[in-house]
Amino acid sequence: MIVMQRFYRISRYFLPVMFFGYVPFANLAVYEHPGGKLAAFDMAALRGTVTHSFDTLYKTAMPHREPSIGVMGAARYLLIGEGRQGVVVGRDGWLFTSEETRPLPASLQPSVAKIAEVRDLLAIHGTKLIVVPLPAKVDVQSAHASVPELSAEMAGFYADLLANLNAAQIEAVDARTPLVELVKSKPAFFATDTHWTLDGAAAVAIAVANSGLIPLGAADMTRTEEPKADFAGDLVSYVTTEGIAPMLGLDREDANPYVVAAPADTSDIFGAAQVDVVLIGTSYSANPHWSFAEALKLDLHQDVLNAAEPGLGPVKPMDKYLASESFRDTPPKVVIWEIPLRYLTDPKLWDGHKIGQELASAD
């Protein structure tokens, strides 16, 4: 530990020296690159021509592009405490997604109305919708955030969402309360990643089971540990490269995932029994590193079909599932919809969503 601390202190001086030593060499190489002459300075420069020229040249002509970007990013992080667009630098090596800094919508009603449409379509098929809104990392881990006002704003936004869902008679589970309680003893989110820890996922799974909204099963579920996962947080790339990150105190993350299964039903000679609970959502649910679906299986004492998908947000996986043969042929009793709060600030969240039309045709 002492050696690493000493290395970290040295790196705070060594990396800027590397950066400033590299700049003359890089700029000379850029200048000598074919087409490497900057636009002449005139009034157009004031409108960004020269800035654009610099940006283009550095992207196309800089030697050792990847290492140089990593060094310059490290220098920026150490000298001014910033990363590239997409990340907000917090305290003590914590990083937050800039998606949590987007302006809040004037009203939650449009999104709540869309969620209600999904609830109503599911109800036609005898399926109950349970919404699990996930609070912002900058709210739950506010002690590591650099802007207290933003943490407070996202906490208020979460409370507003729960109130709006309740007013629309949409059943929801408060995921913020157990996560805020958890951080008193251990992190609910990873320091350099957008996502929750296994402890965070497990805390919310317990809240779902204890909500009384889903009948508990009676299966004796079996937990099996998976190999330890070691990874660079998804926010690190907005600061520097994976190789340089540990020198800045942005250490690699690790998780101990597990899988959960019910005992084999030897009486079912025609195949797997129908699963009554389906989980839909984002990478918080889809990524096996966090074991959220597995935690739900443990606490609900029954199998859970994981239909979440990474990289698509919360709406597209829901639309995809509702259009699937699996849903049409064997609709479940319950659908759990995991929705990270920050997506509700995205003005394009519901683009392409057609549940309202399907609901009208069902009538």
Sign of the CA dihedral with 296 first, then 192, 307, and 256 last: negative
- Could you tell me which residues are beta bridge partners of residue 129? 335
Annotated catalytic residue within 283, 285, 291, 303: 283
Q: Is 193 a catalytic residue?
A: yes
Q: How far is CA 282 from CA 81, 102, 255, 313, 314, in A?
A: 30, 19, 18, 5, 5
Q: Determine which helix (DSSP H) or strand (DSSP E) holds 278, and give its type and residue range.
A: strand 277-280
Q: CB–CB of 104/48 below 8 Å?
A: no
Say how many CA atoms lie within 13 Å of 252 toward its Cβ.
11
Residue 211: closest CA among 258, 162, 151: 162
The single residue listed with the structure tokens 């683009």 is 351
Q: How far is CA 186 from CA 181, 201, 294, in A?
A: 9, 13, 20
**Residue 232 neighbours by CB under 8 Å, 6+ apart:** 192, 242, 245, 252, 253
Alpha helices per DSSP H over the chain: 2-32, 49-61, 65-80, 109-124, 137-140, 148-167, 176-182, 198-210, 283-286, 292-300, 315-322, 325-329, 355-362
Give the span between the Cα atoms of 266 and 305, in whole angstroms.
20
- Could you tell me which residues are beta bridge partners of residue 89? 95
Q: Is 195 a catalytic residue?
A: yes
Q: Are strands 95-97 and 128-134 parallel, antiparallel or unpaired?
A: unpaired
Give the span between the Cα atoms of 325 and 158, in whole angstroms.
34
Residues in the chain: 363
Q: Which amino acid is at 13?
A: Y
Q: CB–CB of 348/147 below 8 Å?
A: no
Q: CB–CB of 321/331 below 8 Å?
A: no
Annotated catalytic residue within 139, 193, 299, 303: 193
Q: Residue 34 is encoded by which pair of tokens?
A: 């074919």
Annotated catalytic residue within 11, 68, 144, 195: 195
Give the span between the Cα atoms of 186 and 56, in whole angstroms.
44
Residues designated as active site = 193, 195, 283
